[in-house]
Amino acid sequence: MELNELPTIEVELVKESKIASVDFNDLPFGKTFSDHMFIAEYYDGKWQSAKVQPYKEIALSPACNVFHYGQAIFEGLKAYYKADGSGIVLFRPEKNAARLNASAKRMSMPEVPVELFMDGIRHLLEVDNSFVPKQTGSSLYIRPFLIGTEPFIGVRSSDRYLFIIITGPTGAYYDEAISVLVYDSYVRSTKGGYGNAKAAGNYAGTLYPVKLAKEKGYKDVLWLDGEHKKYINEVGTMNIFFVIDGKLVTPETDGTILDGVTRDSVITIAKDLGIDVEERQISIDEIVDAYNAGKLTEIFGSGTAAVISPVNKFGYKEKDYPLDETKYVVAQKIKENLVGIQKCMLEDKFNWVTQVN
Ligand SMILES: *Cc1c(COP(=O)(O)O)cnc(C)c1O
């Protein structure tokens, strides 16, 4: 789409900011929202309008595709205050824009032009910059999403869509190491499915097995592949990494896992630090064997919300395999480097950081 075909962004500001009611020292993930949202409408085959407006409810026909057939995809990225307070930066936002469009293609939805995605975020950061936390470990979480909104309950792709961006200040996603349950029954994704799309439906199907895992005392689920229930997939909100014999090992992006921006950043940083990285199939049996041989020294997840999250126990076939996360050196080193680049405390040697204002 040509730049000049994009709608101009209208701006309607709140009458009164809610910033005074935000406790920046207590920010649970996903509960606090900034003053404004961005909303763009697609119909008649193109993006027709775009607006920054007060964060509020939206009215939709009960017949919309999103409510019945789940045309819904999303993204997640963060804006950070530079450690020296000199401005706000985004971390690799063009990767999120590209992935939104890859998800859109898979779910038969229209692409969101990268300029619209970036301009929407830039406008929100301008009007809501006071919502970007300055505290260490906190950031502004940005949630762009695209939904099918045609009022029609026949089964086909919607011909109307809304692209919306909401934002909110947030602290750490998991504040401590997590335990995960490995199922040999439920799966999240399979070859030919859409596990690599950031689609709402990928989550809906996992909520029940995750709830059962929580009832058993685990924090989350580490999924196996859909076909053999043998190969490691991912956590569902995070990609997964193992340190085996000093090597960093992670499942390859085979279409069944989400191609995480954090995953890619972890791999790049690890290689740069001289750590051997293997992207390949990893069976749960290999993990159990490595554990029993004392060769499995670390497990951690990676994702925008959680950044790097140590896993200190996995359960598989009624047996628990605990690990001491206080001894994780690889996870710690990679996290320091990643956060250092994100907060502009270290040289941005991979060109990952975009200053917005
Ligand atoms: C978003 C997401 C991740 C993490 O991706 P990042 O780009 O690193 O935030 C991992 N798995 C799933 C299923 C996801 O939706």
Does residue 146 or residue 5 have the better pLDDT?
146
> Is the same domain home to 98 and 236?
no
Residue 73's pLDDT band, with cuts at 50, 70 and 90, is very high
- At 82 the three-state DSSP class reads coil
> Is the same domain home to 65 and 183?
no
Q: Is the pLDDT assigned to residue 236 strictly greater than 90?
A: no
Residue 4's pLDDT band, with cuts at 50, 70 and 90, is low
Q: Is the pLDDT assigned to residue 334 strictly greater than 60?
A: yes
- What is the mean pLDDT of the segment spanning 183-187? 97
- What is the mean pLDDT of the segment spanning 236-250? 97
pLDDT at 5: 82
**Which residues, at least 6 apart from 70, have a Cβ–Cβ distance to it below 8 Å?**
199, 200, 201, 204
Task: Give domain status of residue 356, yes or no.
Answer: no
> Is the same domain home to 91 and 229?
no
End residue of a domain, out of 170, 187, 210: 170
Q: Which ligand 1 atom is the nearest neighbour of the CA of 303?
A: 8
> Is the same domain home to 51 and 117?
yes
> Is the same domain home to 52 and 200?
no
The CATH number linked to 110 is 3.30.470.10
Query: What integer best gives the mean pLDDT of the chain?
Result: 96
Q: Which ligand 1 atom is the nearest neighbour of the CA of 263?
A: 8
Q: Is the pLDDT assigned to residue 137 strictly greater than 90?
A: no
- What is the mean pLDDT of the segment spanning 332-353? 96
| DSSP E strand stretches across the chain | 9-11, 36-43, 46-54, 72-74, 77-81, 88-91, 139-148, 161-170, 178-182, 220-222, 239-244, 247-250, 277-279, 296-303, 307-316, 319-322, 353-355
Q: From the CB of 263, is ligand 1 less than 6 Å away?
A: yes
Nearest to 281 by CA among 237, 314, 233: 233
233 C-alpha to center of ligand 1: Å?
Answer: 12
Q: From the CB of 258, is ligand 1 less than 6 Å away?
A: yes
Q: Is the pLDDT assigned to residue 197 strictly greater than 80?
A: yes
249 C-alpha to center of ligand 1: Å?
Answer: 17
302 C-alpha to center of ligand 1: Å?
Answer: 8
CA dihedral in degrees (43, 44, 50, 53; nearest 10)?
-40
Q: Is the pLDDT assigned to residue 1 strictly greater than 80?
A: no
198 C-alpha to center of ligand 1: Å?
Answer: 7
> Is the same domain home to 135 and 204?
no
The pLDDT tens digits for 273-295 are 999 999 999 999 999 999 999 99
> Is the same domain home to 65 and 162?
yes
End residue of a domain, out of 170, 198, 230: 170
Q: Which ligand 1 atom is the nearest neighbour of the CA of 75?
A: 1
Q: How many domains does the chain have?
A: 2
Task: Give domain status of residue 354, yes or no.
Answer: no
The pLDDT tens digits for 6-28 are 999 999 999 999 999 999 999 98
> Is the same domain home to 33 and 77?
yes
The pLDDT tens digits for 105-130 are 999 999 999 999 999 999 999 999 99
Nearest CA to ligand 1 atom 10: 238
pLDDT at 173: 67
Nearest CA to ligand 1 atom 13: 236
> Is the same domain home to 124 and 217?
no
Domain enclosing residue 288, as ranges: 178-342
- What is the mean pLDDT of the segment spanning 242-249? 98
Place of tokens 């750490």: 172
The pLDDT tens digits for 150-159 are 999 999 999 9
β-pair partners for 248: 243, 277
Task: Give domain status of residue 355, yes or no.
Answer: no
> Is the same domain home to 186 and 165?
no
> Is the same domain home to 26 and 153?
yes
How far apart CA 16 and CA 11 sit, in angstroms, is 15
Exposed e or buried b per residue across 252-274, where buried means at least 16 C-beta atoms within 10 angstroms of its C-beta: eeebbbbbbbbbbbbbbbbeeee
**What's the pTM value of the predicted model, to 2 decimals?**
0.96
Q: Is the pLDDT assigned to residue 97 strictly greater than 60?
A: yes
> Is the same domain home to 182 and 59?
no
Which of 196, 239, 339 for a ligand 1 pocket mutation test, highest count of atoms within 8 Å of Cβ?
239
**Portion of the chain with pLDDT greater than 70, in percent:** 98
The pLDDT tens digits for 303-328 are 998 899 999 999 999 999 999 999 99
Task: Give domain status of residue 353, yes or no.
Answer: no
Which of 190, 220, 237 for a ligand 1 pocket mutation test, highest count of atoms within 8 Å of Cβ?
237
Q: Is the pLDDT assigned to residue 41 strictly greater than 70?
A: yes
Cβ atoms of 142 and 100 within 8 Å: the answer is: no
Q: Is the pLDDT assigned to residue 3 strictly greater than 60?
A: no
Task: Give domain status of residue 136, yes or no.
Answer: yes
- What is the mean pLDDT of the segment spanning 162-190? 92
94 C-alpha to center of ligand 1: Å?
Answer: 15
How far apart CA 12 and CA 15 sit, in angstroms, is 9
pLDDT at 2: 52
β-pair partners for 161: 42, 148
Give, rounded to a whole angstrom, the gap between the first and last alpha carbons of the chain.
27
Q: Taking phi first (over 0 means left), then psi (-120 to 50 degrees means alpha), and beta for anything else, what does residue 8 get?
A: beta
β-pair partners for 231: 283
Q: From the CB of 119, is ligand 1 less than 6 Å away?
A: no
